[in-house]
Structure 1
Amino acid sequence: MEKETKNIIEMRHIVKDFNGFKANNNINLTLQKGEILALLGENGAGKSTLMRILSGLLEPTAGEIYVRGKKVDIKDPTVAKNLGIGMVHQHFMLMESFTVLENIILGHESTKGPILDLKKAAKQVSALAKRYGLTLDLNARVADITVAQQQKVEILKVLYRGADILIFDEPTAVLTPQEVTEFIKILKGLAKEGKSIILITHKLEEIKEAADRVIVIRAGKSVGTFDVAAVSDDRLAELMVGRHVNMTLTKPQVKAGKEILNVKDLHVKDNRGIMAVKGLSFAIHAGEILGLAGIDGNGQDELVEAITGLRHVTSGSVIINNKDMTNQKVRKITEAGVAHIPADRQKYGLILQFPLADNLALQTYYRPPLSKHAIINHKAIHEHAEKLIKQFDIRTTSATLLASDLSGGNQQKAIIARELDLKSDLIIAFQPTRGLDVGAIEYIHKQLLAQRSAGKAILLISYELDEIMQLSDRIVVLHDGQASGEVKPEETSNKELGLLMTGAKTEGTNHD
């Protein structure tokens, strides 16, 4: 008979070996009832692997798992579900053409005889949503709701299936500061109700805000478990990456040069044919980072797609290096000197089924030395990849590894390596550090500042206000597809930016 324990989960000496590579190497983890446990580690440290084992998506090579004091064999997600374990993944698993309600009940439908009982399901889901403060329009199509609302759908999905052990993988990576505050409130409410929560995150301030304890994992091994109240951010950052991390940026003085990008009176429609960018104008000069702040869904996606040739411009113009590039083809815009780090690395930045080497050549495969007379030189592509892997510290076992097998941070480094290797005059960086650990964030920030020092013009779109404040020379705030203000970081505050993001006008702000 198993001895009684206050631990709702115990993972003992867990090992996961992938052909000689130990993603998890003798890890121990405990989770108590009603606790929020943070799981902290670099990209590729083994956090998601450990949680995929707990949720039945992977089987451990060695080790034991106990749930509520009883030894279990979680051989698939159905076993995990029956044990009350539910996981909300970093990249949501939703059917975009289905409604919110249909997504929540998918696979667990209520029926009246052979007929789907949507009325009964809606009643159950509404009661759950009300209880946990997860208000949603159940009839809305998932394609038409915000990222924060999609996350609520994922949470309701696991709650609807009866989960009382919830795993969240990088849940705030795509949320705005306001949405993060709301999400943490939801987490605390769930814990108060007796749910036990594991929170995978890189964000130290969120750990301080939300978690009771934190376990730090480095290179597949646990380096310690701590009470959050008793450990500093600096100490956690150092334990996570194994070295001192500089948490503050030094931004050298750079004299702005010639105008590189000029966006004039731009009007752009969204997928529904509604005007998403409404008469926006701004310019960026060489040696300057222009930060674009705003709540997700205020025209950022449509603006970036219009500049890079991915979306049709209704009216207005995009001038790059004194050339009108409005509605030109993507390749022509790239060749005019534009590099693009997209917001979603998996959807738009990489071909996940392709090897790393091929992904690093996506922008240049058709040009010498990577090809000659339309024949690709595979040896040159491999050599090109090896050079970028070394230069940008992409951690991989081989250039032939599929992009899907890289950690999130290394996928991001691969995109940045490919785009910066173009030596473009204009760099569009959209959420460049989304879901990355402090070590990777420090590295990418240094790369962007180095590009600024080299005289590049950078358009930085980020939902991380601290990132916008630290990196930008000027900040344009976007609200409802328009500039609600332009400020300098040294003359503003997060509070003022937050007000501008909601469309409020503040004193001393330039609204040209």
Structure 2
Amino acid sequence: MTVVLEVRGITKKYPGVVANDGVDLDLREGEIHCLLGENGAGKSTLMNIVYGMSAPDSGEIRLRGKAIAMRSPKDAIALGIGMVHQHFMLIPVFTVTENIMLGAEEVRGMVLDRRKVSARVRELSREYGLDVDPEARVEDLPVGAQQRVEIIKALYRNAQVLILDEPTAVLTPQEVDELLVVLKGLVKKGVSVLFITHKLREVLEVADRITIMRGGRVVASAKPEESDEHSLAALMVGRDVTLTVEKGEATPAATVLEVKDLSVEGRHAGMDEVRNVSFSVRAGEILGIAGVQGNGQTELIEAITGLRRPRHGQVTLLGRDITGAASRSLIEQGVSHVPEDRHRHGLVLSYSIEDNLVLCTYDQPPFGTKGLRHDDAIDAYARSCVRDFDVRTPSTKTAAGALSGGNQQKVIIARELGRMVKLLVVNQPTRGVDVGSIERIHRELVTVRDKGTAVLLVSAELDEILALSDRIAVMYRGAIVTVVPAGKVTRAELGSWMAGSRGTPEVQPLEATA
């Protein structure tokens, strides 16, 4: 099989860290080559070099046997290399067509030829099964559709090599399945795909070849038909990894969070995204909320955590009305929140790691007293968090925005799980996080539960919901359609309710489990 792309001896150093250390890799024509590794293993750095976003300190890139100099993404695009980044490069207020033609404008006389570009987008959408409306505004599209826009943008520029950086990190299970079908279709059309991920099940389903990186180096290659999740996880992390959650029976106590008849407006006035929702969470239990993304989970959590005002209904914390309370007030009352969108609500990207770790507690002992900041205490705490949660960074002084997405998530998890609280609200806690860190985060959530904290968990990962939850509430079209003990429901039943089917005889009604 013809080798399309080669990297040979790529080395890239940053202050205090070797991101890539003599990396060799090749991509063959018409294959999906999966690049596996932990957060900070050097995968994204390597792909940014291939795409011209960063220059290597040494090594070379060859395209169809010819050495190439990649000075910018413009050079990569001209050579037929496209990249879809983990955090999409789209302008929300622009239409699909406007985003795709940006930087590659078609003109008719002195006017942008949107009609021609729109027709080409429809053609590509049909050809590759991408199902995108060229006239839709990007901000109105679900995440999975936005990713398809990014793929079409690359194909519009005639990409024959497509790099996907953590493409499933923000997708629901249904959207993941759709993407994998799309990738197989792309390969049949002659596109070669480099697929960067840490999700083992997807790798085994879609890969033709697998390369594993650890600590900036290639440590192994594997064939999917000769591998399983456990062996790949061990190669990624360098040790045996437990892929199942170990937890005992919950011992729920008093009700901590109670939500009654809560309704929350969405982006469009007069349209409720959350409709008369009621449930409770008790001390010492994990209540998981399952649902296809876009069924009101985001708006529900934002209303509970002070990021959005409900239209009506009530939220109480240990009997105290906190409906519409500001986020700072909720923090002071013992609420911790791991948000869905780590960039908008989880981090101040320009702040250092250590400043982000004390965002909620910088004014409290031992970090601050009477308006004075205690830098030594903050530094020591940040170092312990970075060590305990394996945040890959050269320094705690590094800006959070300079970290990979998975390491940013670990900073948030370390901050929110590192203080004693009454209620922990976690939304997509392991999104974009590698298998070794997922094991740690799951263990920490169970530990927090066992210490008597009430935990409200939202996740698009059904396996995560089933493994961690003591009870599961299913949301569909803004309403909770059922609540069931986690041990009395199957993955298939959950998926059915998420798609709008109603309960089965085994399912306890909402009142019996609340």
Q: TM-score range by the shorter chain?
A: over 0.9
Distance 1:58 1:352 in 2: 20
Partner of 2:22: 26
The equivalent of 2:292 in structure 1 is 295
Is the contact between residue 15 and residue 394 of structure 2 (CA under 8 Å) also seen in structure 1?
A: no
RMSD of Structure 2 on Structure 1 (CA): 1.3
Which one of the candidate residues 128, 133, 136 is aligned to 2:129?
133
Q: Which residue of 2 aligns with 1:283?
A: 280
| 1:343-382 aligned within 5 A | 343-382=340-379
In the alignment, is residue 177 of structure 1 matched against residue 173 of structure 2? Answer: yes
Structure-2 residue corresponding to 1:244: 240
Pick from 421, 427, 431 the counterpart of residue 428 of structure 2. Answer: 431
Q: Look up the equivalent residue of 2:274 and give its one-letter code.
A: V
Which one of the candidate residues 245, 260, 266 is aligned to 2:262?
266
Q: What is aligned with 2:252?
A: 256
Unaligned runs of 5+ in 2: none
Amino acid in structure 2 at the alignment position of 1:176: T
Whether the 8 Å CA contact 1:352–1:404 is kept in 2: the answer is yes
Distance in 2, Cα, partners of 1:198 & 1:393: 26
| Shift of residue 20, structure 1, vs aligned partner | 5.2
Structure-1 separation of matches of 2:457 and 2:19: 33
Conserved? CA contact 1:486–1:510, under 8 Å:
yes
Of 463, 466, 472 in structure 2, the residue corresponding to residue 466 of structure 1 is 463
Aligned to 1:29, the other structure's residue is in SS state: strand
Instruction: Establish whether residue 406 from structure 1 lines up as the match of residue 397 from structure 2.
Output: no
CA–CA distance in structure 2, aligned partners of residues 294 and 331 of structure 1: 28
Tell me which residue corresponds to 1:142: 138
Q: How does 1:302-341 map to 2 (within 5 A)?
A: 302-341=299-338
Letter in 2 for 1:314: R
Deviations 1:285-337 (A, max 9, x none): 11100010001111111111100111011111001111110011111111111
Letter in 1 for 2:275: K
1:313 alignment partner AA: P
The verdict on how the C-alpha distance between 1:391 and 1:67 changes in structure 2, with shifts beyond 3 A counting, is closer
**Separation in structure 2 between the aligned mates of residue 473 and residue 144 of structure 1, nearest angstrom:** 34
Whichever residue aligns with residue 400 of structure 2, its letter is A
- What's 1:510 paired with? 508
Deviation at 1:511, TM superposition (A): 4.3
Comparing 392-401 with 179-188, which one deviates more in the overlay? Answer: 392-401
* SS of aligned partner of 2:74: helix
Task: Please give the alpha-carbon distance, in whole angstroms, between the structure 1 residues aligned to 2:15 and 2:334.
Answer: 42
Would the aligned equivalents of 1:44 and 1:408 in 2 still touch at CA under 8 Å?
no
**Counterpart code for 1:121:** V
Q: Offset of 1:489 from its aligned partner?
A: 2.4
Aligned counterparts of 1:451 and 1:272: Cα–Cα separation in 2: 37
C-alpha change, 1:456 and 1:20, in structure 2 (3 Å) is closer
The within-5 A match list for 1:77-88 is 77-88=73-84
- 1:408-430 residue CA offsets vs partner (Å, 9 max, x unmatched): 33222211121122311110010
Offset of residue 203 of structure 1: 0.7
Match of 1:70 among 54, 66, 70: 66
For 1:310 and 1:238, how far apart are their aligned partners in 2? 39
Identity of aligned residues (%): 47
Question: What's the offset of the Cα at 1:138?
Answer: 1.6
Aligned to 1:442: 439
Q: Over residues 198-254 of structure 1, what are the superposed CA-to-partner deviations in whole Å (9 max), with x where a residue is unaligned?
A: 001111100011110000000011012222111222111101000000111211123
Among 163, 175, 185, the alignment partner of 2:159 is 163
- Say if 2:461 is the partner of 1:494: no
With normalisation by structure 2, the TM-score equals 0.96
For 2:119, the equivalent position in structure 1 comes to: 123
Compared CA separation, residues 98 and 482, structure 1 to 2 (3 A): same
Contact 2:250 2:470 in 1 (8 A): no
1:380: Cα distance to partner?
3.4
Distance 1:391 1:9 in 2: 38
Q: Is the 8 A contact 1:484 1:504 kept in 2?
A: no
Query: Displacement, 1:477?
Result: 0.4
CA contact (8 A) 2:118 2:135 kept: no
Q: Which moved more, 1:323-332 or 1:365-374?
A: 365-374
Question: Is 2:439 the partner of 1:451?
Answer: no
Name the residue aligned to 1:193. Answer: 189
Distance 2:230 2:91 in 1: 40
Consecutive unaligned residues of structure 1, counting only runs of 5 or more, are none
Counterpart pick for 1:388 among 382, 385, 388? 385
2:407–2:433 contact (8 Å) kept in structure 1: no
Partner of 1:211: 207
Question: In the aligned structure 2, how far is the partner of 1:332 from the partner of 1:352?
Answer: 23
Match of 1:60 among 56, 61, 68: 56
What amino acid is the match of 2:379? H
CA offsets 1:264-304 (integer angstroms, 9 cap, x no match): 11001112222010000010111100010001111111111
Measure how far apart 1:353 and its partner are: 0.9
Distance 2:105 2:242 in 1: 51
500-509 or 476-485, which moves further after superposition?
500-509
The superposition leaves residues 29-69 of structure 1 with CA deviations (integer Å, 9 ceiling, x where unpaired) of: 01111100000000000000010011110111111111011
* 1:469-508, Cα deviation, whole Å (9 max, x unpaired): 1000011000011012222222211211111111111312
1:8 to 4, 8, 23: 4
SS at match of 1:13: strand
TM-score by length of 1: 0.97
- Cα separation, 1, equivalents of 2:436 and 2:84: 24
Q: Secondary structure of the equivalent of 1:296?
A: coil
Task: Say whether the 8 Å CA contact 2:16–2:394 is kept in structure 1.
Answer: no
Question: For residues 421 and 42 of structure 1, what CA distance do their matches in structure 2 show?
Answer: 23
- SS of the residue 1:313 aligns to: coil
CA shift, 1:173, in A, is 1.0
**In structure 2, what residue type is equivalent to 1:297?**
G
| 8 Å Cα contact 2:39/2:392 also seen in 1 | no
The separation in 1 between residues aligned to 2:192 and 2:393, in whole angstroms, is 34
AA partner of residue 414 (structure 1): V
Per-residue CA deviation, residues 342-369 of structure 1 (Å, 9 max, x unaligned), is 1122222111111111111110122333
Give yes or no for the alignment of 1:153 onto 2:144. no
CA distance in 1, matches of 2:305, 2:147: 28
Number of aligned residue pairs: give it: 508
Partner deviation per Cα, 1:7-30 (whole Å, 9 max, x = no partner): 001111111111352111111101
What one-letter code is carried by the residue in structure 1 that aligns with 2:508?
N
Q: Which amino acid aligns with 1:331?
A: R
Contact in 2 for aligned 1:146/1:297 (Cα 8 Å)? yes
